[in-house]
Chain A
Amino acid sequence: MAGAPDERGPGPAAGEQQPRVACPAFAERLGQGKPQQGFLSSFFSSNQKCQLMLLKTLQTNPYVKLLLDAMKHSGCAVDRERHFSCEDCNGNVSGGFDASMSQVRAANLSGDCSLVNEIFRLRFGLKQHYQTCVRDRAILSILAVRNISKEVAEKAVDEVFESCFNDHEPFGRIPHNKTYARYAHRDFQNRDRYYSNI
């Protein structure tokens, strides 16, 4: 398992100095993205559906359970009512972070670059193609929230790629699917025994 998970924050702090950006953080909150689609004869509004999906995810998804446990362990107890928001998303963005490190980690640890997802995007490659995908998705995500050129975005990602790609906190591995995420959660819950016996 990777190093002690309590040394790392989960992302740039809200109070830290952020470089000036053309698009503010959480740009999608300002109403960008595709308009609300009409759900004909549905009993629930899309917001209610989102809330239900959120509740189910928090209770059952091993990726989310591990991340929230790790955040709680680091001093950030996340509250469903307070810290989650259901918003319409522009399809180009994954995550709402604004640093190249965060985007590399998001693309790497979210399952976004699975072989199946890439095939659906008609991007074919097998041997070590994963890293190409992570790099490209990270660059796309940065370009979606920053007013910079592709070259600058590529340079930013390339500078941090080696380190960020190998940073699997708090999973300790790349969680390719829920089985890996479950094992990672099990390891996280076992960490006290682990570190006191090596």
Chain B
Amino acid sequence: MADGFGWRPPRPCEAYRAEWELCRSAAHFLHHYYVHGERPSCEQWRRDLDSCREWEERRSMEAQRSLCESERGRVQTARKHTLVWTPRQSPPADWHLPLPQEKNK
């Protein structure tokens, strides 16, 4: 977390509002139930939206802490599956060369 000078919410407040509204929509409920078999929970987006606004208005340290914690939680959740492939740092040098059987177009 970038403390002190220069910190700002990880997303613009409009993004939190958009995510919260998408989360609460009927279509999202259907998608989420279809995928996960349970209803979505949207309260965290609302809390983040409130924290974002609070930080915008009052530069509240508590709001900053709460936002950071929430977003780190999201990153952790997304990363918790084990990797099947080994990540690599760059593509192979020859990725753009023609395939052996490529015919001329």
- Contact yes or no, A174 B78, CB < 8 A: no
* A86 → chain B closest CB, angstroms: 9
Q: Chain A: which residue is nearest B103 at the CB level?
A: A29
Q: Is A130 an interface residue (CB 8 A)?
A: yes
Whether the pair B81, A163 counts as a contact (CB closer than 8 A) is yes
Q: How many residues of B contact A (CB 8 A)?
A: 45
Given A3-B79, A194-B11, A198-B10, does the pair A128, B36 have CB atoms closer than 8 Å?
yes
Which residues of A are found within 8 Å of B95, using beta-carbon distances? 13-15, 76
A-facing residues in B88-105 (Cβ within 8 Å): 88-92, 94-96, 99, 101, 103, 105
Query: A48-82: which have CB < 8 Å to B?
Result: 74-76, 82
Against A, the Cβ 8 Å flags (1 = close, 0 = not) of B1-33 are 110000111111001001100100000001101
Q: Give the interface SS of chain A, mostly helix, strand, loop or mixed.
A: loop
Q: How far is the CA of A8 from the CA of B90 in the complex (A)?
A: 9
Q: How far is the CA of A198 from the CA of B89 in the complex (A)?
A: 23
B74 cross-chain contacts in A, Cβ below 8 A:
1
B91 close to A26 (CB less than 8 A): no
Contact partners of B84 in chain A: CB under 8 A = 101, 160, 163-164, 167
Query: With contacts A15-B94, A163-B81, A179-B22 known, is A193 near B33, CB below 8 A?
Result: no
Determine whether the beta carbon of B34 is less than 8 Å from that of A115: yes
Q: Which B residues lie within 8 Å of A75 (CB)? A: 90-91
